[in-house]
């Protein structure tokens, strides 16, 4: 038996915008179904919100998203509960979304896209464990860790 895991992000009415933004960064195809498409009356406040959304790319990026019913973007949490302090990452976030690439050029391309409107927690740079590591919270309040896979030393 084989299983896979996919990150599922929950948004306060901004799932479509987030999926479209991530598509601009990672490429791939967005599939989204609204509450209205599943029978909610078009006049209902959540009818145009995303109930099932997914972005998949040929390179392997895969994320799901939906809009929490009854929420609005004004109810969104602050952009970042994560900061650097005395060389440590301090956070109240329940998870980070990690993107790991094979080389710095690849990771830098994703970093450039995600950093638009983001709060940079740790700039993308060489670290003790990686040729490139960085952390940011994007404009949708999702915290990302991007790094280059370190080569195994013999």
Q: What is the pLDDT of residues 115-147, one digit of tens each?
A: 999 999 999 999 888 899 999 999 999 999 999
Cα–Cα dist 2/139, whole Å? 34
Query: Where do the domains of the chain lie?
Result: 7-74, 82-148
Q: Helix or strand or coil: residue 114?
A: helix
Q: Does domain 82-148 have CATH number 1.10.540.10?
A: no
- Residue 154 has what pLDDT? 38
**Is the entire prediction scored with pTM above 0.85?**
no
Q: Which helix (H) or strand (E) holds 63?
A: strand 62-67
Q: Where are the alpha helices (DSSP H) in the chain?
A: 15-26, 104-114
Mean per-residue pLDDT, 1-28: 91
Domains 7-74 and 82-148 share a fold: no
In CATH, which of 2.40.160.20, 3.90.380.10, 3.40.50.11540, 3.10.180.10 is domain 7-74? 3.10.180.10
């Amino acid at each position: 038996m084989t299983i896979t895991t996919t990150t599922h992000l929950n948004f306060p009415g901004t799932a479509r915008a987030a999926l479209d933004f991530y598509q601009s960064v990672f490429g791939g195809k967005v599939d989204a179904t609204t509450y209205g498409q599943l029978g909610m009356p078009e006049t209902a406040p959540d009818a145009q919100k995303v109930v099932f959304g997914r972005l998949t790319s040929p390179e392997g990026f895969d994320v799901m998203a939906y809009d929490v019913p009854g929420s609005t973007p004004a109810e969104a949490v602050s952009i970042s509960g994560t900061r650097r302090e005395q060389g440590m990452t301090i956070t109240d976030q329940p998870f980070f979304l990690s993107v790991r690439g094979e080389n710095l050029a690849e990771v830098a391309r994703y970093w450039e896209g995600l950093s638009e409107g983001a709060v940079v927690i740790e700039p993308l740079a060489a670290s003790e464990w990686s040729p490139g590591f960085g952390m940011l919270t994007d404009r949708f309040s999702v915290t990302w860790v991007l790094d280059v896979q370190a080569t195994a030393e013999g």
